[in-house]
Structure 1
Amino acid sequence: MKFNFYKTSIIAFCITLSSCGNSENVNEASGTFEATETIVSAEANGKILKLTINEGDQLGKGQKVGFIDSTQLHLSKMQLKQNGRAILSGRPDSKVQIEALQKERENAVKDKKRIENLVKGDVASQKQLDDANYRIAIIQSKIDALSSQLATTTNNLNEQSGSVGFQLAQVEDQLKKCNIINSVSGTVLTKYANEYEMATVGKPIYKIADLSTLKLRAYITASQFAKIKIGDVVKINVDAENGKSKTYSGTVEWINSKAEFTPKTIQTKDERANLVYAVKIRVKNDGTLKIGMYGDVVF
């Protein structure tokens, strides 16, 4: 009876060891959280007259956060408008200038009809009728030439006015770019400029990122590479207060198809010599996760 009791105890102990070994047989990887960061830069030259942002502010897409001095551009806009009006005021009044010749032609046509009747009664000669027709043709030629000249002048002035219109559109676009408009929704991470500083095109003003969802960039081994795929849901453990850890659910959204050396942030020399694959895991942020925090992945 005693032998059977010892035998039963040994078997139970072996089963317990076996189950414990299986529970620890999990694939893990470590990495840091990152976000898609966007640097908002100036699109115009001039002094920043207003900039109503601070680091940590929540901004919406399309929100106006400041503006750059646009006085000279406004003056250029006014000058171009005046130039456009001056050019258009020089267009000839074609109707008035042609009207006199048209009346002269009408009189010439009446004279021709009268001469035609006189010719029928043998009172006027054929030469007088020919002269009347010639006079009508001359007047019509003058009308055609003047109409062409006036049309050419009008078209040239319209073209000049159109050119001014394009210049005006350019100034309008430059004025629009004097407004500092936030391009993406998110949190201001870093502020590079302040009010009353000079801005130039391309100068960074602030950096912003959407922190509602972060990405954990981790590195996996070749054996782990074959076991995961895009779309897999994994667990991520993050250090919390009092030495405890907090678990999040994440989705694998990118896996690098090429191996690379382990980053230098891995301290062990042997580990740095290994080839690994980078993966990105999308994690919904409850406000606790921060850029740069470490996380452990359990596949």
Structure 2
Amino acid sequence: MNTRTYYFKLPLLLGLLIFMIGCGSEQKSDAYGQFEAEEVTISAEASGTLNSFMVKEGMKLNAGEKVGQIDSTQTHLRKQELQATVKSIQTNISKLDAQAEVYQEQLQTAKKDLQRFTNLKQSNAATQQQIDQAQGQVNVLQKQISSVNVQKQSVYAELETMETRIAQIQDQLEKTKVINPLAGTVLSSYAEPNELVSTGKPLYELANLEEMILRVYISGAQLPTVSLGQEVEVLIDKNAEENESLKGQVRWIASEAEFTPRMIQTKEERVTQVYAVEIAVANPDGKLKIGMPGEVNF
């Protein structure tokens, strides 16, 4: 009787043992988290009517691509006004240069007359008065030339000021162009064509979804096993029962723990500290989405 009972229970015990081994073989991941992306908000750098805006959610944009234009009519008019002022200043400079040339020619003639009267004075063919008059003419012309040079310096300073203002206006004109600064996918659009915008108003938000960031949290006990640049295994849900394995790389580890207790006395308490870790994961086919859960094995 006992022998038959033993043989009857043996298959049941073996099955239970296999089941327990199978349950115990289920490996848990080292950390869990969600995928993020580095989101960038692009804002208007000028004020005015948004004459054109070609950004829609889901669009892929290239770095340096022009995606909109803010009205720049008044800025263009100010630039034209300044350019006209510059031309007027340049004309004044040309006039001063011509005047200086005339004075230089007159000065050369006056110096020759002074030298001639000086020579004649030695033979008593010229008077001291004639020499004094010639010297006075030379002095007057030299002062006139100096005066012209001073005027030119003032006009050149004015020209430099105008050129600086034109450069500022040109910078303002460039800022009326909405230029996408980096490659990425548009996540949200906050503006529409013909809308009045002001400097600093958010226009759209984009992120580079070609590389996603899995942000996980690890304990202090796990911290020594994780290092920057470390290659890790990332798991995502393939279906309801299976995971898909991807490659990732640790790119950032928090230097301070989060949710730290005020007093940490024992080792058991220290391991309850949580450190944030960011893992970069390539996403060329776009299967990874913002907010998607993920697991990692170090």
Displacement of 1:234: 1.9
Displacement of 1:138: 1.3
2:155 equivalent to 1:139:
no
More deviation, 58-67/251-260: 251-260
1:54 aligned counterpart, secondary structure: coil
Q: 1:243 to 1:220 in 2, by over 3 A?
A: same
Instruction: Name which of 54, 58, 68 aligns with 2:60.
Output: 58
**Contact residue 102 and residue 143 of structure 1 kept, 8 A:** no
The corresponding residue for 1:102 is 108
Displacement of 1:81: 0.8
Q: 1:104 to 1:90 in 2, by over 3 A?
A: same
Displacement of 1:176: 0.8
The corresponding residue for 2:69 is 67
What whole-Å deviation, never above 9, does each CA across 1:30-56 have from its counterpart, x for those lacking one?
111001111111111111111112111
Q: Give the TM-score normalised by structure 1.
A: 0.82
Instruction: Name which of 170, 183, 190 aligns with 2:181.
Output: 183
Instruction: Name which of 221, 232, 242 aligns with 1:234.
Output: 232
The corresponding residue for 2:277 is 279
In 2, distance between residues paired with 1:26 and 1:288? Answer: 23
Displacement of 1:221: 2.1
Aligned pairs for 1:186-205 within 5 A: 186-205=184-203
1:223 aligned counterpart, secondary structure: coil
In 2, distance between residues paired with 1:257 and 1:107? Answer: 88
The corresponding residue for 2:81 is 79
More deviation, 48-57/102-111: 102-111
**Contact residue 250 and residue 277 of structure 2 kept, 8 A:** yes
Q: 1:231 to 1:112 in 2, by over 3 A?
A: closer
How many residues align? The count is 275
Displacement of 1:226: 2.8
Structure 2 residue identity aligned to 1:74: H
The corresponding residue for 2:292 is 293
Displacement of 1:18: 9.6
Q: 1:108 to 1:39 in 2, by over 3 A?
A: same
What whole-Å deviation, never above 9, does each CA across 1:201-234 have from its counterpart, x for those lacking one?
1111111111111010011123222322222222
**Contact residue 237 and residue 245 of structure 1 kept, 8 A:** yes
More deviation, 251-260/128-137: 128-137
In 2, distance between residues paired with 1:16 and 1:233? Answer: 34
What whole-Å deviation, never above 9, does each CA across 1:86-142 have from its counterpart, x for those lacking one?
2232232211244334324423433333343x33xxxx4xxx453343233212211
Q: Structure 1 residue runs of 4+, over 6 Å off?
A: 12-19
Displacement of 1:154: 1.1
Q: Give the TM-score normalised by structure 2.
A: 0.82
Q: 1:51 to 1:166 in 2, by over 3 A?
A: same
**Contact residue 250 and residue 281 of structure 1 kept, 8 A:** yes
In 1, distance between residues paired with 2:233 and 2:90? Answer: 71
2:44 equivalent to 1:45:
no
Cα RMSD after superposing both structures: 3.0
In 2, distance between residues paired with 1:190 and 1:280? Answer: 24
In 2, distance between residues paired with 1:167 and 1:30? Answer: 56
In 2, distance between residues paired with 1:144 and 1:107? Answer: 15
The corresponding residue for 1:158 is 156
1:288 aligned counterpart, secondary structure: coil
More deviation, 227-236/237-246: 237-246
Instruction: Name which of 223, 226, 233 aligns with 1:225.
Output: 223
In 1, distance between residues paired with 2:19 and 2:227? Answer: 32
**Contact residue 121 and residue 128 of structure 2 kept, 8 A:** no
2:38 equivalent to 1:36:
yes
Structure 1 residue identity aligned to 2:90: L
Instruction: Name which of 214, 230, 245 aligns with 1:247.
Output: 245
More deviation, 188-197/105-114: 105-114
Structure 2 residue identity aligned to 1:99: E
Ranges in structure 2 where 5+ consecutive residues have no aligned partner: 261-271
2:178 aligned counterpart, secondary structure: strand
